[in-house]
Amino acid sequence: MMLTMLAAGAIGAPTRLNPVELFLHADIVVQVVMGALGLASVWVWMIVIGFTVRMGLIGRRCRKYEEGFWTARDLDAYQKEQGTRDIPTARVVAAALAEWRRSTSGKTIDRDGTRQRLAAAMDSAVTEETDRLAARLNFLATVGTVAPFVGLFGTVWGVMDSFFRIGAQQNSSLAVVAPGISEALFATAIGLAAAIPAVVAYNRFSHRVNGFESGLFRFADRFHATLSRELEQ
Amino acid sequence: MLTGSPSDPDSIPRRGFAPEYAIGLIVAIAAHGAVIAALTLSPLGRHPEPPPQRMTVSFAAVLADQSASSKPDAQAAPDLAPTLGEPDHADQPQPVPVPVPVPVPAHLPVPVPKPVVKPAPKPKPVVPKPEPKPVPKPEPKPQPKPQAKPEPKAPPKPVAKPQPKPAPAAKPVDKPKPRIDAKTAAGGDSRPHPDKAKPAGGSKIDSNFLKGISGVTTPGTDKVSPGDKPAAVPVAALVSAISRQIKPHWSAPQGVDTDKIVTVLSWSLNPDGTLAGLPVVVSQTGITDANRAQAQIHAELAIRAVRQAAPFTLPPAAYAQWRKVTAFRFDRKLSQ
């Protein structure tokens, strides 16, 4: 009986770490944790890829737009031509031009007030653009912070479950303990696998967004200066 | 923006799911699936250890010791007439065929051996015993006798030759050994000794009887050494040798009353001392409610100890004795 038990244990033991098997053998709570972490990981990578592509596209369009912007004779015509595309700089310009038209449509022009309103309009447009860009980055930050804890929760639960099973079987041999703990630790592994890229990507992307924001601000200041000069005439 | 700027480029959905993210989602799902598939299917998954091989079962033909009975087909040692008198050379092992069952009162220089000498070369019959023996005997005698003697000799007299010998004289000490050796080697068919013995002493029995009766053997006179069994090693020595080798690997489990558990294992060994198959639990005793949970561990540890102790270093000559260890006790004493 001893031998058959030993043999069964030896044969039943997984010969390698198979993530699907680990998932299927785990407790339901651990499975939920693993599933959630898996989805989080998918979402993180979606953001990483999507943000990288989007940031590249936007950066290229903005540079192109700005080059054309400073050489354009007729801003309204240029704006009409370019404005339909998804360009943050164009939207900042649009906000400024809208404010300009409203402020200069009256008989008397309050130059100081107009300058302040233009600045405020452009600032708000710039922050809105950067907020939109960074909208998804907070998910990266959340996953990077929380995923290890969630994984740890799954592990603790799995280990608890394993020890409970040991108690129920009255057998403390390693063959009984090991698989459960292995499954439980798998939860932490997934948590870390989701968190590490998320943290790295978050730091990198917020740096990029900050850079883009300051670029937009520089453009807005320059445009504001142009408009102010225009007001003086 | 209060008035809703007309030139606001809102043709692009602001809150929608940007197409870049849709691409990213597809790519991310594909990448995760690829990683899982790689871990599941590819050899990236580590092989922690090869699965234990199936035990090969070999049916041992012999579990008991080898038979110690004499060979049924061995030719019986011809009975010899008791020799009387002292052989000239006490130091000569061969010449003395003095299986004298009857206590010989005194040395009688009777030249009885002659009849036996007949088949042998003539030099022997010559009276001067001391000189002729050393020279001629070694070569000529051994050959002729084997043919002639087996038949002639079968006197019913000597029932218990080996024992009576000591009585006659100092010779017996040397004699018994050479015989056994020679016969074992030769298969019992040759009997060089009797011839040589002739000169040594006389016999009470008439020379006609000394030839022996052809074809008749006295039960119990077969001198063939029984079987090929080597000198037996005391079982106690084997047991202590095995336990000495197991001891370093054996430790009883800790717990209440675990020292009461006794696991008896049996296992088989190959001639080189390695395990033939796995040790088997024969029985377990001393299990109480308190230590029931430890009993299996006890047996497990015992089996492990045996497996770790193998290969055993045991006297190869006594393999028949330790080829099957039928019952070895694992108890608290063994671990002390």
What residues are paired with B329 via a beta bridge? B264
Residues A9 and A175 sit within 8 Å (Cβ to Cβ): yes
| Among candidates A2, A54, A83 on the partner chain, residue whose Cβ is nearest the Cβ of B20 | A54
With a cut of 70, which residues of chain A have pLDDT below it? 1-17, 83-84, 171-172
Token pair of B230 as six digits: 């080597």
Judged by CB atoms closer than 8 Å, whether chains meet at B14 and A132 is answered as yes
Window 62-101 of A: residues touching B by CB (8 A cutoff) are 79-80, 83-87, 90-91, 94-95, 97-98
Q: For residue B257, give the CATH number of its domain.
A: 3.30.1150.10
Residues B155 and B218 in one domain: yes
Residues B201 and B269 in one domain: no
A48 touches chain B (CB under 8 A): yes
Structural domains of chain B, count: 2
In whole angstroms, give the CA distance from residue B156 to residue A78: 142
Dihedral sign from CA coordinates of B303, B305, B310, B313: negative
Distance from CA of A233 to the nearest CA of B (A): 25
pLDDT on residue B326? 83
In whole angstroms, give the CA distance from residue B47 to residue A69: 63
Across B5-12, average pLDDT: 41
- The length of chain B in residues reads 336
Distance from CA of B318 to the nearest CA of A (A): 29
Segment (H or E) for B219: none
pLDDT at B152 over 50: no
B57 touches chain A (CB under 8 A): no
Residues B326 and B293 in one domain: yes
Please name which of B241, B240, B255, B251 lies closest in space to residue B335, comparing C-alpha atoms.
B251
Distance from CA of B72 to the nearest CA of A (A): 44
| Among candidates A16, A54, A79 on the partner chain, residue whose Cβ is nearest the Cβ of B47 | A16
Distance from CA of A171 to the nearest CA of B (A): 7
Judged by CB atoms closer than 8 Å, whether chains meet at B11 and A84 is answered as yes
Token pair of B167 as six digits: 């009585």
pLDDT on residue B173? 43
Percent of chain B residues topping a pLDDT of 90: 3
Containing structural domain, residue B159? 73-223
Residues B183 and B243 in one domain: no
Structural domain ending residue among the three candidates B201, B223, B245: B223
pLDDT digits (tens, 9 = 90+) for A110-140: 888 888 999 999 999 999 999 988 888 999 9
- Give CB contacts under 8 A, 24+ apart, made by B172-181: B172/B98, B174/B90, B174/B91, B174/B93, B174/B96, B175/B93, B175/B96, B175/B97, B175/B98, B177/B93, B178/B93, B178/B94, B179/B223, B180/B223, B180/B225
Residue B143 lies in a domain: yes
For chains A and B, CB pairs below 8 A equal 120
pLDDT digits (tens, 9 = 90+) for B73-106: 656 666 666 566 655 554 444 554 555 555 544 4
Residues B11 and A87 sit within 8 Å (Cβ to Cβ): no
Please name which of A60, A98, A104 lies closest in space to residue A76, comparing C-alpha atoms.
A98
Structural domain ending residue among the three candidates B223, B258, B279: B223
Please name which of B202, B28, B210, B25 lies closest in space to residue B127, comparing C-alpha atoms.
B202
Distance from CA of B93 to the nearest CA of A (A): 59
Token pair of B27 as six digits: 């790519």
Residues B291 and B213 in one domain: no
Q: Residue B4: is it exposed, middle or buried by C-beta count within 10 angstroms (0-12/13-18/19+)? A: exposed
- Scanning every residue of chain B, which has its alpha carbon at the shortest distance from the alpha carbon of A15? B47
Structural domain ending residue among the three candidates B166, B199, B223: B223
Distance from CA of A137 to the nearest CA of B (A): 12
Residues B307 and B239 in one domain: yes
3-state SS assignment for residue B329: strand
Residue B195 lies in a domain: yes
B303 touches chain A (CB under 8 A): yes
How far, CA to CA in Å, does B224 sit from each of B74, B113, B221? 7, 23, 9
Residues B131 and B92 in one domain: yes
How far, CA to CA in Å, does B52 sit from each of A169, B178, B275? 24, 54, 15
Residues B183 and B323 in one domain: no
Across B154-178, average pLDDT: 46
Chain A residue numbers with beta carbons less than 8 Å from the beta carbon of B32 are 38, 41-42, 45
Choose from B2, B20, B26, B42 for mutation: most chain A CBs within 10 A: B20
pLDDT on residue B271? 86
Distance from CA of B16 to the nearest CA of A (A): 11
pLDDT digits (tens, 9 = 90+) for B178-237: 444 444 444 444 444 444 444 455 556 666 665 555 555 555 444 445 555 555 567 778
Residues B153 and B262 in one domain: no
pLDDT on residue A218? 92
Residue B158 lies in a domain: yes
Chain B residue numbers with beta carbons less than 8 Å from the beta carbon of A129 are none
- Scanning every residue of chain A, which has its alpha carbon at the shortest distance from the alpha carbon of B13? A86
Residues B242 and B219 in one domain: no
Residue B41 lies in a domain: no
In whole angstroms, give the CA distance from residue B294 to residue A53: 62
Judged by CB atoms closer than 8 Å, whether chains meet at B28 and A43 is answered as yes
Residues B217 and B244 in one domain: no
Residues B155 and B243 in one domain: no
pLDDT at B123 over 60: no
Residue B321 lies in a domain: yes
Please name which of A46, A41, A43 lies closest in space to residue A195, comparing C-alpha atoms.
A41
| Among candidates B8, B47, B51 on the partner chain, residue whose Cβ is nearest the Cβ of A10 | B51
pLDDT on residue B99? 53
Confidence of residue B333 (pLDDT cuts 50, 70, 90): confident
Residue B68 lies in a domain: no
pLDDT digits (tens, 9 = 90+) for B305-314: 888 888 888 8
pLDDT on residue B12? 44
Percent of chain B residues topping a pLDDT of 70: 38
Residue B87 lies in a domain: yes
Choose from A34, A46, A57 for mutation: most chain B CBs within 10 A: A46
Chain B residue numbers with beta carbons less than 8 Å from the beta carbon of A2 are 281, 296, 299-300, 303
Judged by CB atoms closer than 8 Å, whether chains meet at B24 and A170 is answered as no
Residue B312 lies in a domain: yes
| Among candidates B40, B293, B296 on the partner chain, residue whose Cβ is nearest the Cβ of A20 | B40
DSSP A126-166: HHHHHHHHHTTHHHHHHHHHHHHHHHHHHHHHHHHHHHHHH
